[in-house]
Every structure is written in structure tokens, then in C-alpha cells.
Amino acid sequence: MSFLTIEHAVKQFGGLRAVDDVSFSLQRGEIVGLLGPNGSGKTTLINLISGALPASAGTITLNGQQLTGLRRDKIARCGVARTFQLVRILPSLTLIENVMIPAVFGHKAHWGAAADRVAKDALAMVGLSERATMSAGDLTYIDQKRLELARALAAEPELLLLDEWLAGLNPTELEEGIKLISELRDSGLTILMVEHIIDAVRALCPRVVVMNSGKLIADEQTDKALTDPAVVTAYLGEDVDA
């Protein structure tokens, strides 16, 4: 049985169908790239899974538990963690406090020493241990991204949703970022990642799903998808006869 199942998911904004009858599923431990040109509905789909937006129709289930219709905090407590396309940290809290939040309020509900340990482990994973007591508002952009990932990890999630987590990094940082995600993959975490950086997708995801104008246009092996005429057309437009 598949781990995450999305069946006929629809999100309607007035006259616009941002997500239009999308269905696919992930196996436990799988890492899948979610591709598509700007405005194709990728982030909206992430928002449907994490409960930031209610679905207009369709069902999403995680490990047999229906997520559609649940509040954001309940979905988080089902084991879904996410990062945001525009990085969101808690600026008035220290790094360790930032990371401790989902450890305390997430599905494992740690407190005291246990929460502290989970938070420290998560910070160590992204290489921010030494700055644990700094205020999060003072971090640089890349470190804020790291912090956000650490926060998602401290939830000890079953499913991790990454929304362009690698965007905006320089080549060295990108390499580090890819290595970090591959470690998470190797630890058995199930990951659905929205990503525009094709090298990263090739390196990390054996399989991709591709969206265009809200519809799912491909769900196949990464190499195949990237040469699929439908996918190429979606990104580059139709051939125009001169």
C-alpha cells in the first residue's frame, strides 16, 4: 500500500483551478520531485497536503489516515512537516527555541530534556549547533533556510514537504544542501520536494511528477520525464514554425 496518496485533488480559486484533478502516490521512504513551470500549482498542492489551504475536492491520505478536512496543526501532528517557499523563521526566538517548537507540539510531543535533545540533534544535522543561542532574526538567508529545515526535522516527520528549499543558494551551498537532503533520504524519510534546479532533481530524485496549469502532465522516471515532449513543451512552449 502506498504511504501518501493524493486522489483527484482539486483547488479552485474563483474561476481558476490552481490544482486540477491531481492524483499520484508515494511509497514510504521514497523521494519524489514535484516539477512544473511557475504558476503551475506546485505550492498550492503542497498547501493542500499540509492543510494551509482546504482542498475543494478530492482526498489526501497519509498511511491510511485521511488528511483532507483536518486543521493544519492536526496534520502536523499526523507527522507532516514542511518548509516554506519564502523562508519563515521565528525572529524573536533563539535558534534552539525555533527548532524545539515542533518537537514540543508535533506528533511526538516531547518536553524538557527530550525536546532539548531532539532540537539539538536537528540543529547539528544542518550544522548550526554552535549558534544555538543566537537570535534567529540575526541569521543570513542561507542559515535561515538551514534553520527552517532543522525545524522541519525536529518534528521527526513521517513526510517532509520541501518547497524550493534549494532556491537562492550559491554553488557551494547548493552542493551542501543536496548532500543534506540525500542524507535524509538515506535515513528513510519520505520526501516530496518542489524544485526548479534540475541538477538537484537529477541527483536526488529517481522519480518526478510534473504539473502544468494545475494538471498532472507526467509521473515517471526523472530521465524520461526531462525528455518527455509534454514536459519540454510545458517549460519551453510549443515549437513555432518560422
Partner 1 sequence: MTKLIIPLVALVALAFAPNFVSAYGLGLLIGAATYVTLASAWALFSGHTHYVSLATVAFYGTGAYCMAVLNEALPYWAVLLCAGGIGATMAALVGLSTLRLQGVYFVIFSFGLAELVRQLITWYEVNVTGTLGRYIFLDITARDIYWQMLALGAATIALTAWIHRSRLGMALRVIGDDEAVAAHSGINLARVKLIAFVLSAVILTLAGAITSPRYVYVEPAIVFNPTVSFLTVIMALLGGANRLWGPALGAVPLFLVFEWLSANFPDSYPIFMGLLFIGVVFLLPDGILAGIEKLRARRKVQS
Name the site residues for partner 1 (rule: CB under 8 A): 50-52, 71-73, 76-77, 81-82, 84, 88-93, 97, 100-102, 104-107, 111, 151, 155
Residues in the chain: 242
Least Å distance, CB 82 to partner 1, is 6
Identify whether the C-beta of residue 84 lies closer than 8 Å to the C-beta of residue 162.
Answer: no
Nearer to partner 1, 102 or 225 (CB): 102
Nearer to partner 1, 43 or 222 (CB): 43
DSSP character string of 196-212: --HHHHHHH-SEEEEEE
Nearer to partner 1, 77 or 196 (CB): 77
Least Å distance, CB 68 to partner 1, is 16
Least Å distance, CB 226 to partner 1, is 31
Nearer to partner 1, 6 or 100 (CB): 100
Phi first, then psi, for residue 241 (nearest 5°) are -75, 125
Question: How many Å separate Cα 231 from the centre of its chain?
Answer: 21
Identify whether the C-beta of residue 26 lies closer than 8 Å to the C-beta of residue 3.
Answer: yes
Least Å distance, CB 110 to partner 1, is 11
Least Cα distance to 2 among 59, 56, 42, 84 occurs for 59
- Report the run of H or E that residue 93 belongs to, with start and end: none
Q: What residues form DSSP beta bridges with 35?
A: 210
Identify whether the C-beta of residue 167 lies closer than 8 Å to the C-beta of residue 7.
Answer: no
Least Å distance, CB 77 to partner 1, is 5
Nearer to partner 1, 51 or 177 (CB): 51
